[in-house]
Structure formats: structure tokens, C-alpha cells
């Protein structure tokens, strides 16, 4: 009896010990990810990867709510300049004090570099792989065209930050940034600023060919008009005024009827989640549901007047009082700012909470969905910018007549009393620049403008030196105008060099 038991026991032992789980037991896969290899297998997957980049324009980076995608980037670039006034020691204060961009380990310094190169990498996967995907050729063209725009636009944004300015007239051999056309973990060297711009144009030109005549799903996608508008924007940065004027005009004329300037009532009503229906927007991130909105990192969580975040309640953003005072009283844009901070002229469907602190010249240009919903569409390109590019470029070429004419429709849309400018020369340029500064306030242009024009930063009016750490003047051309390359890049990339520290 016992022998039988023993035998059973031993057979059991042997069978269990020799039993093992099949190798599949050790194969596990995530439910919240897909294999990278699948991305360019079909155009459906490639569409999803392109949509991922569209979404990436309004998500949080660096784990901090001050780094909420392109909207935050615009705030950074705006509040380093003189037209954007902060009212309290709050988010972005190190940016405002000109410390962040010169501190290579600070997340505000790393934020644009890392974000834009992520988009470039995602775009490269599509640019280099979508042609092999299974699916309609039109889809491939549109996907690749948009990916090319992302690649060009991203490099364009960061070269303006991390390199010396593009000097009009050429000779731009100064170190630019790595222009990434292939994805590789190997560190790449900086190429010259000239080469970066050459590549930007090549990518935009390729995109224009692919996208010409192609429809788009909505304004969070880019079409050929966006590519043309970017050509004009880039050329303006390069000081290639004839090119800029031509492309701005073409972008406008070739899209005839597709876009229109906002009327005064719409403008007064504020920038909201209305980019799809509003004809002035050429390209915008549209945040159509709250689930896709990062409530505290969103553009509207800092730039709107009515959202209830501690950032807005304590530190609503103001316009430079000196700039404001240059506006004609009949200009609708005067209504976008409250001189005494009480906002008596809010659109009827908007109200402020008692906890929203009051400061002079605070903006109501941007209006979030409600005090508990921070959504505001992030404007990436508006029709008025094309008029402004053309006007500025013509004026800088000395073509006062065409410049004034280009400015007129846009200026008149904002101020019914406006008449064709009789200014000439520098006075006309100054007038156009005032229009540009006011029109694009909060949209991420002014610091780039100062840098491309090699102008001093002069903060006066309602800027508080204590909040600015006494950074009230920065002479043009100094090392402070060049962001430091993030330390994380230097640490991992032997091929790259830091910008001068002093």
C-alpha cells in the first residue's frame, strides 16, 4: 500500500518538475500601446500617428503645468519680450526674468527643444515610411505633406531660440541646430543657421507640392495655405522682405475666399474655441472636448482672463501700457484690455469671480469656455498675420504705397475709423509694428520679432522691476538672446557644442 503511495507521489513529483509553462507564458503586451513597427504599415495607422502630433501640440511636457505644448511656448516667447506684462510672482516668472533660457538644466530651457524634436521624430517616421504603407496615395501625400510642415516649423521655432539670429543678407555660418531628417539615437552636430533655413524651405516646398489642392479634415490639420504662410513667416525672419511679401500675398490670394478677417463684434467677443467657424484662423489647435484638455496646462489656463486657476486669479496677463496707449480709442482691440483691471466691458456671457485679482491693462482677448473650463483654441496662424507680413516687408523694402495698402484691410477691420496710412519710411514701419504687436499679442511673436530685427528689449510702463528681477533693458545682440542648449542634450550628444556663456 505504502509503495503504491510512494510511486504515485514520485510520479507526481516528476511530472510537476518536468512540467513548465510554455514560452508564451512569458510573452506579455501592453494594452495602452502599439508596436512601433505597425505605424507605417497602413495609411490608417499613419493617420493615427499624424493625429498624435496634432494632439501633442496641446499636451503637457516636462511634467509641469507651465509647459503645456505650443500654447505655453507662445506664452514663453511672448513674456520674454516687452508687450506682455506679468502682475505677480507666478508661473513663467523665471522666463520673464530672463533666467530660464540661460539655465541649461531648467525645464523651461529644455521644454521647447525637447518638445519640437519629439514632433520632428514623429514626423520623420511618417516622412520616411508612409510611402511604403498600404493605402490610398492621396492619404500618403496629405500625411507626408503635413509631417513635412511639422518638421520645418519645429526646426524653425527652435533655431530662433538656440542659435544666433539669422542675419539678413547671408553669411549665416554661425552654429544652428541639428536638422534631423532621419531618426537616430546617435547625437548629431549643429549645422549652420543658413543650412537650417535651407532645409526648412526645402521641407516647406515639398509640402506645398504634396498638399496643393488637397482638402483637410479641420483646422487642426495643415493644408497648403499653412505651408505658404509659413514660407512668408520664415522669409520675414530671414529679412528676405521681397520673398516674404510675395509669399504672404500669394498665400492670401491663392486661398481667395477661404479665409476672412474677423469683424469687430467677433474680435471684441474674444479668442475662444471658435477657430473652425471663424474665417480668420488658418491653422489652430482645437480642443473640442474637456477630456483632451489638460485643464491646468492649457494655453487658456494662463492667457485667458476668466478661467479660475491660481495662475490667472493671481496673475492675469496685461498688455504693456505704453503699447496700449498707442492704440486709437476707436480700435476694437482697446476693448480687449481693461485699463483699470475691472473689466467692465466683458462680453455679456463672461464674468469674473471675486477671487480674480484685478490689475491694470489685463487682457480679455482670450476667453476660456468658463471659469472651470480652460479651453481656448491655440492660434497658430491667422489671416491678419499675412497682411502684417506683407505690409512690414513692403515697408522695409521702401515700398510705402504697397505697404500701406497691405495694412489697410487688417487695420480697418479692427478700427472702422482707420484710413489708409499716409506715413512713410520709418514712421510707416513703426505704425505697422505697433499694429503687429497689438494684433499678435499673446500669440508668441514679439520676442522673435525683437531678435530678428536685432532690437533692444525695453520694458517700461506697467512692468514692475521687482517682478522682472530688474531686467528692464537688454541690449540687442548679446549672448542673452541665445538660449543655452539644454544640458540633457549636451550630456548625451558628443557632437554638439554649447552656446557661449558670456
Partner 1 sequence: MFLFKKLIALFALYVFFGAQLHAQTIDVAGTVTSSEDGVAMPGVSVVAQGTTIGVITNFEGKYSLTVPAGVTKLIFSFVGMKTQEVDIENRTSIDVVLETDVLGLDEVIVTAYGTSKKGAFTGSAEQINSDDFDLRPISNITTAMEGKAAGVFVTAPDGQPGSSQSIRVRGFGSYSASSSPLYVVDGVPFSGTLNTINPADIESMTVLKDASSTALYGNKAANGVVLITTKKGRAGAGRLTVDVSAGITSRAQQEYDRIDAFEYYPIMWEAYRNSLAIPGIDDPADVTAANQQASNNIAGYLGYNPFNVADDQIVLNDGSMNPSAQFKGAYGEDRDWLGGITQQGQRQNYNVNYSGATDKVDYFISVGHLNEKGWIIESDFKRYTGRANVNIQATDWFKTGISIGATQSHGNMAQTGGSSSYVNPIRFTRQMGPIYPIHQLDPATGEYVLDDNGDKQYDIYDNRTSNSSTGRHVIAEIKWDDDIEERTQLMAKTYAEITFLKDFKFTTNLSFDQHFYYNSYYNNKFVGDGAPGGRAYRTSTRRNSANFNQLLNYVKSFGNHNLNILAGHESYSLRFNSLSGGKSEIIADGNTELGNFVTTLDLDSYEDNYTTEGYFARIDYNFNNRFFVTGSYRRDGSSKFFVDNRWGDFYSVGAAWRLEQESFIQGASWIDLLKLRGSYGQVGNDAGIDFYAYQALYGLGWNNQTASGIYQDKLMAAALLWESNNSFDIAVEFGFLNRIFGTLEFYHRISDNLLFEVPLPLSGGIDNQNQNIGTMYNQGIELSISVDIIKTSDFEWNLNANFSTLKNEFTKLPQEEIIDGSKKLMVGHSRYDYWLKEWMGVNPDDGSPLYRADVYSDTDTDILIQGSDTLTTDQNNARYGYFDSAIPGLYGAFTNSFSYKGFSLNFMFTYQVGGKVIDYNYQSIMSSGDYGASKGTDILNRWQAPGDVTDIPRMDVTNTTNSEATSTRWLTDASFINLRQLTFSYTFSQKVTGSWSKGLRIYVSGENLFLKSARKGMNVQQNFSGTTSNVYTPSRIFTIGANVTL
Q: Which of residues 187-206 bind partner 1 (CB under 8 A)?
A: 187-188
4 scored as a contact of partner 1 (CB under 8 A): no
Q: How far is the CB of 196 from partner 1 (least distance, A)?
A: 12
344 scored as a contact of partner 1 (CB under 8 A): no
106 or 448: whose CB is closer to partner 1?
A: 106
Which of the ranges 73-81, 140-148, 347-355, 388-396 carries the binding residues for partner 1, by CB under 8 A?
Answer: 347-355
Q: Which residues of 346-361 are buried (b: 16+ CB within 10 A; e: fewer)?
A: beeebebeeebeebbb
Q: Which residues from 35-74 bind partner 1, rule CB under 8 A?
A: 35-39, 45, 47-56, 59
d(CA 332, CA 325): 13
* Contact in structure between 268 and 335 (CB atoms under 8 Å): yes
417 scored as a contact of partner 1 (CB under 8 A): no
Q: Which residues of 215-235 are buried (b: 16+ CB within 10 A; e: fewer)?
A: ebeebbbbbbbbbbbbbbbbb
Q: Which residues from 369-408 bind partner 1, rule CB under 8 A?
A: 370-373
Which of the ranges 8-16, 167-175, 383-391, 439-447 carries the binding residues for partner 1, by CB under 8 A?
Answer: 8-16
23 or 256: whose CB is closer to partner 1?
A: 23
Residue from 107, 241, 259, 296 binding partner 1 (CB under 8 A):
296
Q: How far is the CB of 394 from partner 1 (least distance, A)?
A: 37
Sequence-ordered list of residues with C-beta below 8 angstroms from that of 292, at least 6 positions apart, any chain:
55, 58
Residue from 26, 277, 329, 349 binding partner 1 (CB under 8 A):
26
330 scored as a contact of partner 1 (CB under 8 A): no
Residue from 1, 18, 348, 349 binding partner 1 (CB under 8 A):
18
117 scored as a contact of partner 1 (CB under 8 A): yes
Q: How far is the CB of 349 from partner 1 (least distance, A)?
A: 15
Residue from 180, 204, 211, 261 binding partner 1 (CB under 8 A):
180
Residue from 5, 257, 329, 349 binding partner 1 (CB under 8 A):
5
Q: Which residues from 218-277 bind partner 1, rule CB under 8 A?
A: 218, 220
CA distances to 276, 476, 477, 495 from 216, rounded to whole Å, are: 12, 41, 41, 39
Residue holding cell 492704440? 327
Sequence-ordered list of residues with C-beta below 8 angstroms from that of 26, at least 6 positions apart, any chain:
none
d(CA 400, CA 428): 7
475 scored as a contact of partner 1 (CB under 8 A): no
Task: Reduce the DSSP state of residue 428 to 3 states and report it.
Answer: helix
d(CA 170, CA 104): 29
Sequence-ordered list of residues with C-beta below 8 angstroms from that of 381, at least 6 positions apart, any chain:
226, 229, 230, 233, 281, 282, 283, 284
139 scored as a contact of partner 1 (CB under 8 A): no
143 or 429: whose CB is closer to partner 1?
A: 143
* Contact in structure between 163 and 149 (CB atoms under 8 Å): no
Q: DSSP state, 473?
A: E
Which of the ranges 165-173, 192-200, 398-406, 486-494 carries the binding residues for partner 1, by CB under 8 A?
Answer: 486-494
Which of the ranges 306-314, 338-346, 410-418, 430-438 carries the binding residues for partner 1, by CB under 8 A?
Answer: 306-314
Which of the ranges 74-82, 320-328, 446-454, 491-499 carries the binding residues for partner 1, by CB under 8 A?
Answer: 491-499
Q: How far is the CB of 13 from partner 1 (least distance, A)?
A: 5
d(CA 351, CA 403): 40
89 or 456: whose CB is closer to partner 1?
A: 89
Residue from 23, 137, 256, 344 binding partner 1 (CB under 8 A):
23
Phi, psi of 295 (to 5 degrees): -50, -45
- Which residue spans within 238-285 are E strands per DSSP? 281-285
119 or 267: whose CB is closer to partner 1?
A: 119
Q: What DSSP element (H or E) covers 215? A: none
* Contact in structure between 103 and 483 (CB atoms under 8 Å): no
Residue from 264, 462, 487, 499 binding partner 1 (CB under 8 A):
487
Amino acid at each position: 500500500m505504502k509503495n503504491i503511495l510512494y510511486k504515485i507521489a514520485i510520479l507526481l513529483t516528476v511530472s510537476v518538475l518536468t512540467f513548465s509553462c510554455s514560452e508564451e507564458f512569458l510573452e506579455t503586451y501592453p494594452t495602452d500601446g502599439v508596436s512601433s513597427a505597425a505605424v507605417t504599415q497602413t495609411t490608417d495607422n499613419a493617420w493615427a500617428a499624424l493625429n498624435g502630433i496634432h494632439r501633442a501640440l496641446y499636451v503637457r511636457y516636462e511634467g509641469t503645468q507651465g509647459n503645456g505644448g505650443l500654447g505655453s511656448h507662445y506664452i514663453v516667447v511672448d513674456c520674454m519680450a516687452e508687450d506682455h506684462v506679468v502682475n505677480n510672482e507666478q508661473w513663467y516668472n523665471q522666463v520673464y526674468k530672463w533666467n530660464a533660457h540661460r539655465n541649461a538644466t531648467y525645464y523651461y530651457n529644455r521644454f521647447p527643444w525637447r518638445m519640437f524634436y519629439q514632433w520632428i521624430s514623429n514626423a520623420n517616421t511618417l516622412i520616411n515610411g508612409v510611402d511604403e504603407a498600404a493605402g490610398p496615395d492621396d492619404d500618403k501625400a496629405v500625411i507626408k505633406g503635413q509631417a513635412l510642415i511639422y518638421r520645418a516649423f519645429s526646426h524653425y521655432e527652435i533655431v530662433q531660440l538656440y542659435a544666433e539670429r539669422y542675419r539678413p543678407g547671408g553669411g549665416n555660418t554661425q552654429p544652428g541646430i541639428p536638422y534631423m531628417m532621419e531618426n537616430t539615437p546617435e547625437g548629431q552636430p549643429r549645422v549652420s543657421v543658413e543650412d537650417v533655413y535651407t532645409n526648412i524651405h526645402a521641407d516647406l516646398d515639398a509640402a506645398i507640392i504634396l498638399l496643393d489642392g488637397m482638402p483637410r479634415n479641420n483646422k487642426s490639420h495643415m493644408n497648403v495655405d499653412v505651408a505658404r504662410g509659413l514660407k512668408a513667416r520664415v522669409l520675414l525672419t530671414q529679412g528676405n522682405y521681397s520673398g516674404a511679401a510675395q509669399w504672404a500675398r500669394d498665400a492670401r490670394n491663392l486661398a481667395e475666399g477661404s479665409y476672412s478677417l474677423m469683424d469687430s463684434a467677433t474680435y471684441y467677443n474674444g479668442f475662444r474655441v471658435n477657430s473652425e467657424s471663424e474665417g480668420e484662423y488658418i491653422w489652430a489647435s482645437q480642443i473640442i472636448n474637456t477630456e483632451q484638455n489638460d485643464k491646468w496646462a492649457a494655453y487658456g489656463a494662463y492667457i485667458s482672463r476668466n478661467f479660475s486657476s491660481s495662475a490667472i486669479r493671481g496673475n492675469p496677463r496685461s498688455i504693456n501700457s505704453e503699447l496700449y496707449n498707442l492704440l486709437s480709442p476707436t480700435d476694437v482691440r482697446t476693448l480687449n484690455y481693461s485699463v483699470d483691471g475691472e473689466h467692465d466691458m466683458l462680453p455679456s456671457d463672461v464674468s469674473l469671480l471675486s477671487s480674480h485679482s484685478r490689475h491694470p491693462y489685463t487682457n480679455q482677448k482670450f476667453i476660456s469656455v468658463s471659469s472651470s473650463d480652460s479651453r481656448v483654441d491655440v492660434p497658430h496662424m491667422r489671416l491678419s498675420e499675412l497682411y502684417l507680413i506683407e505690409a512690414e516687408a513692403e515697408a522695409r523694402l521702401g515700398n510705402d504705397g504697397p505697404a500701406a495698402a497691405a495694412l489697410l484691410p487688417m487695420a480697418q477691420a479692427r478700427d472702422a475709423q482707420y484710413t489708409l496710412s499716409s506715413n512713410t519710411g520709418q514712421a510707416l514701419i513703426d505704425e505697422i509694428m505697433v499694429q503687429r504687436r497689438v494684433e499678435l499679442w499673446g500669440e508668441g511673436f514679439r520676442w522673435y520679432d525683437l531678435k530678428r530685427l536685432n532690437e533692444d528689449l525695453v520694458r517700461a510702463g506697467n512692468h514692475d522691476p521687482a517682478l522682472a528681477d530688474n531686467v528692464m533693458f537688454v541690449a540687442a545682440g548679446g549672448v542673452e538672446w541665445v538660449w543655452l542648449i539644454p544640458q540633457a542634450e549636451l550630456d548625451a550628444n558628443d557632437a554638439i557644442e554649447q552656446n557661449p556663456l558670456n
